[in-house]
Structure 1
């Protein structure tokens, strides 16, 4: 259980109940984002086959973008006055993304990443009603930016799978 801050209470125009609910949703987004980051980095390291150069470089761009997003999400949770999850145990409880075992073939990696990108987008999208109700524009902006990235990345990955 997190300690209450001694001193100045948070007074940003969002009530405590709403801040906690939004932070919970953002914690789920952070867990999905971290799981997606880890999956993408793993696939970057382990991809093989005729598409090696293309996928190796693409996965690197994707995991680098994902890594940078983790901080933005965690810092928004903190700005709302809640602790950001930061352990594998917490992420495992919060994520909607299933861990991939073994080393899939290259196109199966792409399929897994499409699903993980889409799952992360759905996690971000489901938070909008709470964010809208609380009139929380900074979180809405963060969610919109993340949705744009995840939907575009899923589209690009799906394009690889087309005949």
Structure 2
């Protein structure tokens, strides 16, 4: 039952989601400044959502008959290189926007791959993820104006 292009697409989404989870959790821990409370809470909501998504995506890989990455190194092998650490609250938000946009692009490609393979369930799950990332990007952008 393993559809290699679907598994590959899901694994790439999983790796990027894991990297963004770690980055966002670090922002939650380290944000400072006048917007501390707002950003601390926003980053917490984001990392909790990302954490839950990891399980859902990994389980979808298992449904495909493949094994999900089981180590940090394996997960990171499927993610883009890490950005330089952010040095200010504004930089954290700016880098988070870039990362959410990057994963949105990966999701669009993965959705198309799943749709082409006739895997409506994976495409639907990824579409839900895309919707969340687009909304988070919009909210962060609105907060910088």
Equivalent residue, structure 2, for 1:158: 141
Aligned pair 1:41/2:4, yes or no?
no
C-alpha displacement of 1:103: 4.5
TM-score (norm. length: structure 1): 0.84
In the alignment, which of 26, 29, 46 is matched to residue 62 of structure 1?
A: 46
Write out aligned runs for 1:8-47 (5 A). Answer: 10=1, 16=2, 19-47=3-31
C-alpha displacement of 1:82: 0.7
Bigger-Rg structure (1/2): 1
Equivalent residue, structure 1, for 2:82: 99
Structure with greater helix share of residues: 2
Equivalent residue, structure 1, for 2:36: 52
Query: Would the aligned equivalents of 1:31 and 1:95 in 2 still touch at CA under 8 Å?
Result: yes
Structure 1 unpaired stretches of 5+: 1-9, 11-15
In the alignment, which of 66, 88, 102 is matched to residue 82 of structure 1?
A: 66
RMSD over aligned Cα atoms: 1.3
Q: Deviation string for 1:60-99 (max 9, x for gaps)?
A: 0111111101000000000001111132211222112x32
Query: Would the aligned equivalents of 2:111 and 2:127 in 1 still touch at CA under 8 Å?
Result: no
SS at match of 1:127: helix
Say how many residue pairs are matched: 145
TM-score (norm. length: structure 2): 0.94
In the alignment, which of 102, 117, 123 is matched to residue 134 of structure 1?
A: 117
Aligned pair 1:124/2:107, yes or no?
yes
Equivalent residue, structure 2, for 1:148: 131
Structure 2 unpaired stretches of 5+: none
